[in-house]
Amino acid sequence: MNLVTSFLIPAFLLLVLVLVLVLRPFIFPAKSAATSRRQMNAAIYREELDKLEAEHQAGVINSVDYEIAHAEMRQRLFQDTIVEDDREVAGSTKKTAIGLCIFIVVLSSGLYFSLGDVVRVAQKNSETPVTQEGVEKMVAEFAIKMEKDPSNLKGWAMLARSYRILGRNEDAAKAYARAGDFINSDPQLLADYADVLATNADGNFAGKPLQLINQALKLDPDNLMALWLSGTAAYSSGNYKAAVQTWEKLAKQIPADTDEARAIQGSIAEARSKGGLSSQAPTSVAGKSISGKIELAPDLKSKIKSGDIVMVIARKPGERMPVAVLKVAASDFPMSFTLNDSLAMNPSAPLSQLSEASIEVRISKTGMAKPEMGDLISSAQTVKVGASNVRLLIDQVRQ
């Protein structure tokens, strides 16, 4: 049995079932005669007259009112029962049944041919989702098309973004370069181009990447990507004060209760610590903090890899849910840290509301909240909120 037959047989049976249900009153007429409208009206008025007679005999209404009401009811009964009699069931059953059959068949056929037949539906259902290979193939075809139309600067910018999403930064840089003047007036494209160039240079922003960032900020001083890259460039060059100032401007544009905001505040805290700047939280994040140094046992230094994430976690003593979490990229040890209300997991329950907190540090390969085998960890210790000389030693491997 082929696909079309397997579809049409159930569809035909379903159509027959619908017709039987719709036409049931015409196919199986009622065995007993239905009550006519005249008979129903007569029965209703007879009941009303009986009630009126009972009220008169009980003395509820006097004789004058009784005669008036009785006369009005007789007149209404005569008017309602003199009309031509009819029945509760439909009349011409044969014509109605034929009309309904034709209507349903025509409607279903029209929907079938307008929405697509079973073959096309089956073909659509058999289509597989777009895969990574499919995306790369489309990008490759687009690149071939651009080679035939090199003057299409907007197309080169689109191709560069596609390469960037695929992680092909070398190709993305070449495509951005060929986009030429098209990107010079677009701060987002300038920032993206700078990010690609810095990535290809192993994080070095000197030269053209920094020029592109400054050009983007000149066009749009509040561009998020450009602000982040500008702060990162300042941090990489050791200008921690400029990094803090730039990132604080960025932080004002990010909703407070988000992972992005917490990450930025963590970077700000790290820059303050490395630059020996005041660790006081911004005025918008008032409250006590916990700060100190993170040290790494010498025998574990070989286990630190590029991209590892250092997580400093504060909890209310005796509870598992974190109150505040600082996430920063692993760098040279010892490294400074600061936990404050800007890193709160729940803004309504900030760190400053606690008198003391249990804190620990963990180095994760993934940055996930759930501890994983192979994470480097420290022992948890309880400290006073407001302490500034806390020492955390990473000396264990989670088994």
Both 207 and 311 in one domain: the answer is no
For 97-165, the DSSP string reads HHHHHHHHHHHHHHHHHHH--HHHHHHHHHPPPPPHHHHHHHHHHHHHHHHH-TT-HHHHHHHHHHHHH
Whether 24 is in a domain gets the answer no
For residue 379, the model assigns a pLDDT of 92
Q: Residue 87: is its pLDDT beyond 50?
A: no
Task: Sort residue 88 into left (φ over 0), alpha (ψ -120 to 50) or beta.
Answer: alpha
For residue 283, the model assigns a pLDDT of 40
Both 146 and 253 in one domain: the answer is yes
Whether 33 is in a domain gets the answer no
Both 256 and 332 in one domain: the answer is no
Both 243 and 332 in one domain: the answer is no
Q: Is the model's pTM score more than 0.85?
A: no
Whether 110 is in a domain gets the answer no
Whether 346 is in a domain gets the answer yes
- What pLDDT, in 10s, does the model give residues 67-86? 766 666 666 665 555 555 44
CB-based contact 231:198 (threshold 8 Å): no
Which CATH number characterizes residue 393's domain? Answer: 2.60.40
Structure tokens at 221: 């001083």
Count of structural domains within the chain: 3
Whether 78 is in a domain gets the answer yes
Both 257 and 303 in one domain: the answer is no
State the pLDDT confidence band at 88, using cuts at 50, 70 and 90: very low
Give which of 347, 293, 292, 294 is closest to 323, Cα–Cα. 347
Both 353 and 297 in one domain: the answer is yes
* Boundaries of domain holding 328: 290-397
Q: Residue 105: is its pLDDT beyond 80?
A: no
Whether 114 is in a domain gets the answer no
Both 249 and 144 in one domain: the answer is yes
